[in-house]
């Protein structure tokens, strides 16, 4: 036992890890203030290591770090702008290509290259988060009903008799059974109906609508079509297949997003035929992520709620304030209007 007791410390000293400053390292020392002689590398380090060959059926993707533009494109999730604003045309109207709901690529521009001029004072406003926040809170506050109501001490089903005399019992003073300090009594601060509505200036509402439309256009989530009924979908299934991602001739086509997750707001002019509005709404109303509104009904909350905004050409004119939006061009009427303006100029 004594011999074993002497051997154990010897093994323990051999197994202890040597300090770094005492261990011999290959090459010059990296410790500041200490100098060690360069030692030859171990023979195992200089031996060539056999690298197995890469199989022919194995390929590696480029794992380079993504740039900021690529990260932004990934965050946009298939939203891409169709218009370009150059420094030379920053004070002119915006030329935006038209799209078609009847096409296999409704989010792309028409092959014919048709464009529409978007007023800069409506569709090129800077982002004002404070204006958008005021519009959203105004809408949500006006949506609150404020009809919550609880009973008070005067309406609770207890009598007003005093429970015990004020003095003489040696206990705390108490009033009637409906006191809020007793179990089953009336609430001390009962809930009463309240009007949560707010007021918002009309100019702030208009600025918020223009700011929201400009943000959608800038992020690439706005499309303009000649007519919402050009797709002529017979039912909801056909409409969802035409609007959602899917296969076309064996190729996967990206449209407005996956079919279960569609989020689209269709906006039409107030002068649109009611039959056309009812027909289009019949085909898309069963999808919870699709809605349809007129330009006189749409608000900032509606534009921000949905991911995509699809406008009709007449809706653009109505938003821009064109009084002749939705009216077909009549050459005879146009000639009469020109003569009227010419006579006023002569006077």
Domain assignment present for residue 15? The answer is no
**125 lies in the same domain as 227:** yes
Q: What is the DSSP letter of 308?
A: E
Three-point CA angle 334, 338, 343, nearest 5°: 150
Q: Quote the tokens at residue 231.
A: 């797709």
3-state secondary structure 290-306: EEEEECCCCCHHHHHHC
302's CB contacts (< 8 A; 6+ apart) are 265, 291, 293
**97 lies in the same domain as 178:** no
pLDDT tens digits, one per residue of 53-105 = 666 655 554 544 455 555 444 444 557 888 777 665 667 889 999 999 999 99
**118 lies in the same domain as 267:** yes
Q: Answer yes or no: are the C-beta atoms of 138 and 198 closer than 8 Å.
A: yes
Q: Quote the tokens at residue 301.
A: 């909350």
Domain assignment present for residue 161? The answer is yes
**233 lies in the same domain as 283:** yes
Q: Which of 266, 269, 311 is nearest to 290 (CA)?
A: 266
Q: Which of 246, 237, 234 is nearest to 106 (CA)?
A: 246
**205 lies in the same domain as 183:** no
**226 lies in the same domain as 88:** yes
Domain assignment present for residue 31? The answer is no
**Euclidean distance between CA atoms 85 and 118, whole angstroms:** 12
Residue 115: its H or E element: strand 115-118
Domain that holds residue 161: 145-195
- In the chain, which residues have pLDDT < 70? 1-78, 86-90, 322-331, 333-334, 337, 341, 344-347
Domain assignment present for residue 105? The answer is yes
Q: Among 177, 195, 213, give the residue marking a domain's end.
A: 195
Q: Answer yes or no: are the C-beta atoms of 110 and 223 closer than 8 Å.
A: no
* pLDDT value, residue 328: 53
Domain assignment present for residue 73? The answer is no
Whole-prediction pTM:
0.66
Q: Answer yes or no: are the C-beta atoms of 201 and 297 closer than 8 Å.
A: no
Domain assignment present for residue 57? The answer is no
**215 lies in the same domain as 305:** yes
* pLDDT value, residue 265: 97
**95 lies in the same domain as 182:** no
Q: Answer yes or no: are the C-beta atoms of 122 and 320 closer than 8 Å.
A: yes
* pLDDT value, residue 51: 58
Q: Quote the tokens at residue 135.
A: 């519009």
Q: Which of 100, 298, 89, 104 is nearest to 212 (CA)?
A: 298
* DSSP, residue by residue, 130-172: HHHHHHHHHHHHHH---------TTTSSS----SS-SSSSSS-
Domain assignment present for residue 7? The answer is no
Which residue has tokens 């005492």? Answer: 22
pLDDT tens digits, one per residue of 237-269 = 999 999 999 988 888 989 999 999 999 999 999
Number of domains in the chain: 2
Domain assignment present for residue 268? The answer is yes
Q: What is the CATH number of the domain that holds 111?
A: 3.40.1370.10
Query: Residues for the chain: how many in total?
Result: 347
Phi-psi region of 146 (alpha: psi -120 to 50; beta: other; left: phi over 0): left
* pLDDT value, residue 326: 46
**188 lies in the same domain as 87:** no
**123 lies in the same domain as 237:** yes
Residue 225: its H or E element: strand 222-225
**304 lies in the same domain as 266:** yes
**Euclidean distance between CA atoms 134 and 211, whole angstroms:** 12
**Euclidean distance between CA atoms 173 and 158, whole angstroms:** 18
Three-point CA angle 22, 26, 28, nearest 5°: 85
Q: Which of 116, 114, 118, 113 is nearest to 93 (CA)?
A: 118
**184 lies in the same domain as 87:** no
DSSP H helices in the chain: 2-15, 43-46, 68-76, 120-123, 129-143, 202-219, 236-243, 274-284, 300-305, 313-320, 331-346
């Amino acid at each position: 036992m004594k011999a074993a007791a002497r051997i154990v410390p010897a093994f323990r000293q051999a197994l202890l890890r040597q300090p770094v400053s005492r261990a011999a390292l290959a090459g010059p020392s990296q410790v500041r203030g200490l100098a060690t002689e360069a030692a030859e590398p171990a023979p195992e380090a200089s031996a060539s290591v056999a690298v197995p060959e890469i199989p022919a059926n194995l390929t590696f993707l480029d794992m380079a770090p993504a740039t900021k533009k690529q990260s932004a494109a990934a965050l946009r999730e298939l939203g891409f702008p169709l218009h370009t604003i150059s420094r030379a045309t920053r004070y002119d109207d915006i030329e935006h290509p038209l799209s078609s709901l009847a096409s296999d690529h409704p989010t792309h521009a028409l092959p014919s290259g048709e464009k529409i001029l978007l007023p800069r004072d409506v569709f090129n406003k800077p982002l004002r988060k404070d204006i958008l926040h005021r519009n959203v809170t105004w809408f949500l506050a006006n949506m609150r009903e404020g009809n919550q109501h609880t009973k008070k001490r005067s309406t609770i089903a207890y009598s007003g008799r005093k429970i015990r005399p004020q003095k003489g019992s040696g206990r705390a003073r108490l009033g009637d059974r409906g006191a809020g300090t007793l179990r089953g009594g009336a609430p001390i601060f009962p809930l009463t109906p309240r009007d949560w509505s707010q007021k918002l200036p009309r100019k702030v509402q208009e600025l918020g609508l223009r700011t929201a439309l400009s943000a959608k256009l800038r992020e690439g989530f706005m499309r303009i079509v000649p007519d919402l009924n050009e797709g002529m979908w017979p039912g909801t299934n056909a409409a969802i297949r035409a609007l959602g991602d899917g296969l076309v001739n064996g190729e996967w086509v990206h449209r407005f997003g996956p079919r279960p997750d569609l989020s689209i707001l269709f906006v039409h002019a107030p002068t649109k035929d009611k039959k056309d509005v009812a027909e289009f709404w019949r085909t898309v109303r069963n999808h919870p992520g699709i809605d349809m509104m007129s330009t006189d009904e749409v608000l900032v909350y509606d534009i921000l709620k949905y991911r995509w905004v699809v406008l009709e050409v007449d809706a653009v004119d109505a938003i821009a304030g064109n009084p002749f939006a939705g009216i077909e061009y009549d050459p005879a009427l146009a000639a009469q209007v020109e003569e009227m303006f010419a006579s006023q100029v002569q006077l």
